[in-house]
């Protein structure tokens, strides 16, 4: 919920069968802040406010944002709290079977694979209520009377300074996301009070919203518009963050030839490429950890269109070219999956491309030696007869 100084959310909570003391407003005196023990036959109807009450509002430039709000009837442990934090503000479920979003969340509570649901974080009957901007409904007070009781409707109308039979003023209702769960009676939800400078929205990570504004072509457009080293680095970093954290964006890049387009753009901006931008390219392809034993080529399409296309890097400095060749050498010789990596580079005809690069008389002795080392590592790993014929035909 987006608030400008005087947001008020009104909750009607039914604490039936609850034998705990409830402290509502810390700003209230103790004699009014605590509720007595309710009985099992006459439960109390409790109202609570989140935000600044309408009567206490004043003009201010302060912006208040309230994310999803939950109330549990039991304390949570540090692991559960960490898992809830990892779910982020875009989660609006009831914590009964949250889906893993990344491996860090998986390691907190379960060894299961990413995408597998976790066991319930909170017992079903202990989730009192949960509200988020993902479940809004706009009604009038007269329409609310068909869902709420007469007492509830009168209380809501009084909080909003409306008549109980008002059928014109819109009232925004946020439904209780845990209303359907097993357990005692629960509130139907919350009513947003106050309208000036107030709106509700559902937060989503940028990587999930990109598809609605053009997809990865927007990020490629940023790369195309870069005219300085800093601008190119920033646009490449944004592209890496989007593609590396969104499988939909990665598949779109593969489907539309986005990696080829990026290679063409980098070829035209070779004079701006430095070591940091090359490292971002390694990260985008997925081979940045070549110094570790488990490094492999996870995305052959991106590797072929960006790294194995030596024309992209032919206009860069020789230091950049030697760094790229050293990266090839590490992937082929210093990793546990070197056999698979070698097969990938043979299929991409990397040896043929390296032979063509040797025809460039402008190459220094050090760069020529690096090319020969990479070729020796590839051909020294028992290539097939077809691979050797391909090399001979290209030469």
pLDDT at 291: 47
If one compares 84 and 264, the residue with the highest pLDDT of the two is: 264
If one compares 296 and 281, the residue with the highest pLDDT of the two is: 281
Q: What is the pLDDT of residues 353-392, one digit of tens each?
A: 888 888 888 888 888 888 888 888 887 766 666 656 655 5
pLDDT at 178: 80
In which region does residue 353 sit, left (phi positive, over 0), alpha (psi from -120 to 50) or beta (all else)?
Answer: alpha
pTM assigned to the model: 0.54
Closest CA to 200 of 137, 107, 293, 140: 137
Name the percent of the chain lying above pLDDT 90: 14
CA distance 347 to 341: 10
Q: What is the pLDDT of residues 111-148, one digit of tens each?
A: 444 456 778 888 888 888 888 777 677 888 888 888 77
pLDDT band at 395 (very low <50, low <70, confident <90, very high): low
Residue ranges of domains in the chain, CATH in brackets: 2-74+123-193 (no CATH), 206-394 (1.25.10)
Residue located via tokens 């790294």: 307
Q: What is the pLDDT of residues 53-87, one digit of tens each?
A: 767 777 777 767 777 888 888 888 888 888 888 88
- Residue 54 CB neighbour total at 10 angstroms: 15
Residue 106 phi, psi dihedral angles, 5° rounding: -65, -40
Q: What is the pLDDT of residues 22-56, one digit of tens each?
A: 333 434 444 444 445 555 555 556 677 777 776 77
pLDDT at 29: 46
- Residue 179 CB neighbour total at 10 angstroms: 16
CA distance 61 to 63: 6
Mean pLDDT of the chain: 75
Integer-rounded Cα Rg, in Å, for the chain is 30
- Residue 98 CB neighbour total at 10 angstroms: 20
Residue located via tokens 């290539």: 383
């Amino acid at each position: 919920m987006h608030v400008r100084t005087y947001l008020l959310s009104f909750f009607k909570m039914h604490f039936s069968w609850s034998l705990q003391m409830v402290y509502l407003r810390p700003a209230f005196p103790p004699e009014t802040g605590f509720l007595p023990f309710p009985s099992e036959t006459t439960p109390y109807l409790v109202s609570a406010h989140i935000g600044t009450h309408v009567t206490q509002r004043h003009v201010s430039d302060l912006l208040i944002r309230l994310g999803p709000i939950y109330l549990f009837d039991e304390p949570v442990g540090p692991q559960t709290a960490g898992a809830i934090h990892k779910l982020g503000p875009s989660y609006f479920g009831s914590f009964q079977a949250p889906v893993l979003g990344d491996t860090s969340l998986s390691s907190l509570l379960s060894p299961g694979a990413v995408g597998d649901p976790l066991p319930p974080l909170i017992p079903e009957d202990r989730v009192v209520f949960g509200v988020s901007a993902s479940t809004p409904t706009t009604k009038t007070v007269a329409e609310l009377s068909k869902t709420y009781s007469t007492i509830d409707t009168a209380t809501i109308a009084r909080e909003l300074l409306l008549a109980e039979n008002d059928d014109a003023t819109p009232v925004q209702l946020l439904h209780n996301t845990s209303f359907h769960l097993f357990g005692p009676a629960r509130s139907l939800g919350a009513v947003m009070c106050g309208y000036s400078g107030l709106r509700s929205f559902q937060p989503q990570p940028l990587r999930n919203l990109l598809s609605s504004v053009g997809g990865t072509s927007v990020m490629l457009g940023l790369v195309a518009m870069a005219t300085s080293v800093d601008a190119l680095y920033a646009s490449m970093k944004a592209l890496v963050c989007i593609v590396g954290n969104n499988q939909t964006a990665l598949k779109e890049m593969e489907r539309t030839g986005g990696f080829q387009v990026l290679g063409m753009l980098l070829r035209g901006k070779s004079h701006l490429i430095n070591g940091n931008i090359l490292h971002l390219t390694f990260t985008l392809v997925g081979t940045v950890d070549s110094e570790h034993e488990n490094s492999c080529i996870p995305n052959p399409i991106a590797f072929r269109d960006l790294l194995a296309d030596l024309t992209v890097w032919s206009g860069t400095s020789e230091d950049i070219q030697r760094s790229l060749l050293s990266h090839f050498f590490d992937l082929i010789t210093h990793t546990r999956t070197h056999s698979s990596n070698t097969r990938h580079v043979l299929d991409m005809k990397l040896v043929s491309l390296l032979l063509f690069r040797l025809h460039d008389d402008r190459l220094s002795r050090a760069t020529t030696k690096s090319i020969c080392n990479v070729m020796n590592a590839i051909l020294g790993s028992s290539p097939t007869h077809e691979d050797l014929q391909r090399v001979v035909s290209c030469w």
